[in-house]
Amino acid sequence: MRTTITVNGEARSLDLDPRTTLLDALREHLKLTGAKKGCDHGQCGACTVLVNGVRINACLSLAVMHDGDEVISIEGVGTPDRLHPVQVAFLNQDAFQCGYCTPGQICSTLGLLAELEAGHPSQETAPGAKPEFTGDEIRERMSGNICRCSAYPQIVAAIRQAAEQMA
Amino acid sequence: MKPFTYERAESPAAAAKAAALTKGARFIAGGTNLLDLMKLEIEQPTHLIDVGRLPMAAIAPTPEGGLTIGAAATNTAVAAHADVRARYPVLSQAILAGGSPQLRNKASVGGNLLQRTRCAYFYDASKPCNKRAPGSGCGALEGLNRNAAIFGASQACIATHTSDMAVALAALNARVETISPSGDTRSIPLTDLHRLPGDMPHVETVLVPGELITAVTLPPPPVGGQAYRKVRDRASYAGGLASVAVAGGDLALGMVALKPWRAAGAERALRAGASPAEAMAAELEGASPRGRNDFKIPLVARLATAAIHEANGRGA
Ligand SMILES: Cc1cc2nc3c(=O)[nH]c(=O)nc-3n(C[C@H](O)[C@H](O)[C@H](O)COP(=O)(O)OP(=O)(O)OC[C@H]3O[C@@H](n4cnc5c(N)ncnc54)[C@H](O)[C@@H]3O)c2cc1C
Ligand code: SF4
Ligand code: FES
Ligand code: FES
């Protein structure tokens, strides 16, 4: 099935079996292997990408459902010589060990910052209140990204640093 | 995954019509439950009708002073909506207690209501399950059934419905709006949408084949406070063991039955002047735990009592 998705700013036209997930379209068809397949069932967050600016699990979505959408994967966030502030912060804070979850953590951070900016509540937000940028809020909002190496304290520190730098 | 064909529906009416045309056709909205199950070949649709982009994602006030929420609205959009947060906080809180941000960004109102049980035996195709394979037996009955229902179960199925959102909607007296392949529309009380298992646990709702949920309608918010509480094995990103939604004098329990469970006995007792603890004791007299899930009785009693006090504190 013919599907056109703008991936990291470039329109890509693919002829896909409808069974192809967005994650497999990125990894197997476009050879963008940054987004990882940890569980393939929405349970780990390693496949997190931004679709029209919103973070989702690419493993639980069909590519054909994204015809016409704009997708940003880790490859579109920054490059080795032009790192995004969130990537710099992850390096500075040593926010990973093996790095397997990191592309998902970074894309998820970008989604989190946009959601906070838009005032979206989480279960840590007091009823009716505007969410604040606290450690509890960051941990709750990043709970969809599992880190098997347990770099969580450093990931929270990196998100704090990135938010300060981007403010 | 088994092969299937795919189409994007043009309108709600066309989607319902298309669903009746192809045997084995299914709607897909966010895909977060259906694709999970298709990968395991527990769901094997022959044709997918994508309803995720239909113009039924609006959240708008009703002339009666309530709110209508389109079935394609994302869980995130509903939880963050200013009217929902201000007037139906229990709904926002319930949604935010479920899944992860990534899942809620994708999950729709319609799909959330029709998510299937997370019973481990339903998910394991090597085990008997009357819901997945009618007549094969129930693996959970004598198995690891710590999360089993305490209300409304049968010998055929003891699973629970695991939606958080639906528990709040049940307490809020929501109605589910649908359109059928014939073009007929109807409005169903949310508490009538899901069926108890009886001897046909594979028939999960009162919807007819091809009937599309178009919206959920809320009456004006009740007088009094609202609260949602959920207990799970970790603080976030985990399905619940039990939950409770309080909306004024109305009360619904989650993960204790194959549908969001309106605690009518407790509501009656509260109206008659019972304390929250007494009211919950009255409700739980009707419970039938199975051993491994006995803990749900004191858990639900304490959880609901605390939530009623919390709501009363907010309503004052
Ligand atoms: C790891 C994980 C953790 C989760 N944790 C929780 C949790 O803690 N609490 C919780 O409540 N949920 C939880 N969920 C479930 C999640 O909320 C559901 O997957 C989601 O709400 C389903 O919505 P969807 O739009 O993606 O549905 P889909 O997967 O698209 O569809 C689900 C079903 O609904 C049908 N359907 C969809 N839209 C309509 C419509 N408009 N009319 C008629 N039928 C329709 C489909 O045919 C399908 O049968 C979790 C899911 C995952 C993967
Ligand atoms: S409890 Fe229900 S869903 Fe679970 S194995 Fe038994 S029949 Fe299947
Ligand atoms: S690979 Fe998508 S959530 Fe784990
Ligand atoms: S750094 Fe290894 S999984 Fe997170």
Pair B108, B253 in one domain: yes
Cβ atoms of residues B109 and B70 within 8 Å = yes
Q: Say if residue A31's pLDDT is above 60.
A: yes
The Å distance, Cα A18 to ligand 1 centre, comes to 20
Specify the pLDDT at position B316: 54
Q: Is residue B136 part of a domain?
A: no
Confidence of residue B67 (pLDDT cuts 50, 70, 90): very high
Class of the CATH-defined domain A2-76:
alpha beta
Q: Would you say the ipTM is above 0.90?
A: yes
Closest CB to B97 among A60, A111, A123? A123
Query: How confident is the model over B158-162, as a mean pLDDT?
Result: 98
- The 10s digit of each residue's pLDDT in A143-167 is 999 999 999 999 999 999 999 998 8
Task: Answer with the one of B34, B53, B72 that is the final residue of a domain.
Answer: B53
Pair B95, B212 in one domain: yes
Pair B28, B105 in one domain: no
Helix (H) or strand (E) holding B130: none
Total tally of structural domains belonging to chain B:
2
Written as one string, the DSSP assignment of B193-255 is HBPP-TT-TT--BSPPTTPEEEEEEEPSPPSS-EEEEEEESSSSSS-EEEEEEEETTEEEEES
Does the beta carbon of A101 lie inside 6 Å of ligand 4? yes
Residues 6 or more apart whose CB falls under 8 angstroms from that of B148 comprise B140, B158, B159, B160, B290, B292, B293
Specify the pLDDT at position A167: 82
Cβ atoms of residues B88 and B218 within 8 Å = yes
Pair B41, B79 in one domain: no
The Å distance, Cα B130 to ligand 2 centre, comes to 6
Confidence of residue B3 (pLDDT cuts 50, 70, 90): very high
Helix (H) or strand (E) holding A146: none
Q: Say if residue A65's pLDDT is above 60.
A: yes
Pair B42, B170 in one domain: no
- Chain B closest CA to A46's CA: distance in Å? 11
The CATH number linked to B20 is 3.30.43.10
Domain boundaries, chain A: 2-76, 85-166
Q: Enumerate the residues of chain A whose CB falls inside 8 A of the CB of residue B106.
A: 56-57, 60-61
Does the beta carbon of A94 lie inside 6 Å of ligand 4? no
The CATH number linked to B184 is 3.30.465.10
- Homologous superfamily of the A85-166 domain (CATH): [2Fe-2S]-binding domain (1.10.150.120)
Q: Is residue B120 part of a domain?
A: no
Query: How confident is the model over A10-30, as a mean pLDDT?
Result: 98
One-letter amino acid for residue B151 of the chain: F
Q: What does the alpha-carbon distance between residue B105 and residue B103 come to, in Å, rounded to a whole number?
A: 5
Query: How confident is the model over A29-51, as a mean pLDDT?
Result: 98
Q: Is residue B133 part of a domain?
A: no
Q: Say if residue A42's pLDDT is above 80.
A: yes
Cβ–Cβ of B101/A144 closer than 8 Å? yes
Percent of chain A whose pLDDT exceeds 70: 100
Q: Is residue B301 part of a domain?
A: yes
Q: Say if residue A132's pLDDT is above 60.
A: yes
Specify the pLDDT at position A150: 97
Pair B26, B64 in one domain: no
Specify the pLDDT at position B314: 82
Closest-lying ligand 2 atom to the alpha carbon of residue B197: 2
Q: Is residue B141 part of a domain?
A: no
The rounded mean pLDDT for chain B is 97
Does the beta carbon of B77 lie inside 6 Å of ligand 1? no
Confidence of residue B246 (pLDDT cuts 50, 70, 90): very high
Cβ–Cβ of B105/A56 closer than 8 Å? yes
The Cα-based distances of A76 to A34, A45, B165, B305 in angstroms read: 10, 18, 34, 50
Pair B261, B183 in one domain: yes
Q: What does the alpha-carbon distance between residue B91 and residue A58 come to, in Å, rounded to a whole number?
A: 27
Residues in chain B: 316
Cβ–Cβ of A127/B79 closer than 8 Å? no
Burial class (CB in 10 A: 0-12, 13-18, 19+), B95: buried
Q: Which range of residues forms the domain containing residue B248?
A: 59-113+160-311
Specify the pLDDT at position B150: 98
Query: How confident is the model over B126-152, as a mean pLDDT?
Result: 97
Q: Is residue B216 part of a domain?
A: yes
Pair B39, B72 in one domain: no
Q: Say if residue A106's pLDDT is above 80.
A: yes
Q: Enumerate the residues of chain A whose CB falls inside 8 A of the CB of residue B5.
A: 18
Specify the pLDDT at position B123: 97
Residues 6 or more apart whose CB falls under 8 angstroms from that of A40 comprise A21, A23, A47, A59, B39
Closest-lying ligand 4 atom to the alpha carbon of residue A97: 1
Q: What does the alpha-carbon distance between residue B263 and residue A142 come to, in Å, rounded to a whole number?
A: 34
Pair B183, B304 in one domain: yes
Specify the pLDDT at position A2: 97
